[in-house]
């Protein structure tokens, strides 16, 4: 009769195979891959947090730049108005230098051309026109 398989030996081999296969995750190549994946996921989360923080900083910086731009325009208009007031104070009936809007920096369209025209105006009107969003020239 031909040789027959020893099923006890086959069963023992399968048991050994199952026991040894269960230990595969302990290999550094397999286990290290899981650790690397975890570290990479952590790095991705941290980069997302950093990108969000940078976005907030950029938004704040844009607001600061806009504020500084407005402040610069206002200071330039105030400086031009101070010079115009000085020149206008010595005008003696001559043509006046127009004031600029503190908001837009443009000349106030309705500003009087002479001292006589200025005398006919209401002071509140001049103040309103230098602080309003007029679309004057210049």
- pLDDT tens digits along 107-136: 888 888 887 787 777 765 555 455 555 545
Binning the chain into helix, strand and coil, the percentages to the nearest 5 are: 70, 0, 30
The two structure tokens encoding residue 125: 């009107």
Q: Assess contact for 98 and 130: CB atoms under 8 A.
A: no
Q: What's the pLDDT tens digit per position in 37-69?
A: 889 999 999 999 999 999 999 999 999 999 998
């Amino acid at each position: 009769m031909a040789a027959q398989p020893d099923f006890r030996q086959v069963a023992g081999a399968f048991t050994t195979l199952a026991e040894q296969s269960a230990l595969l995750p302990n290999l550094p190549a397999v286990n290290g891959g899981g650790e690397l994946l975890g570290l990479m996921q952590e790095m991705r989360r941290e980069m997302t947090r950093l990108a969000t923080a940078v976005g907030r900083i950029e938004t704040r910086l844009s607001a600061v730049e806009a504020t500084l731009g407005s402040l610069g325009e206002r200071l330039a208009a105030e400086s031009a108005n101070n010079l115009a007031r000085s020149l206008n104070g010595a005008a003696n009936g001559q043509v006046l230098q127009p004031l600029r809007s503190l908001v837009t920096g443009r000349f106030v369209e309705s500003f009087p051309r002479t001292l006589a025209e200025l005398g006919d105006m209401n002071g509140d009107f001049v103040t309103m026109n230098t602080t309003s969003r007029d679309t004057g020239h210049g």
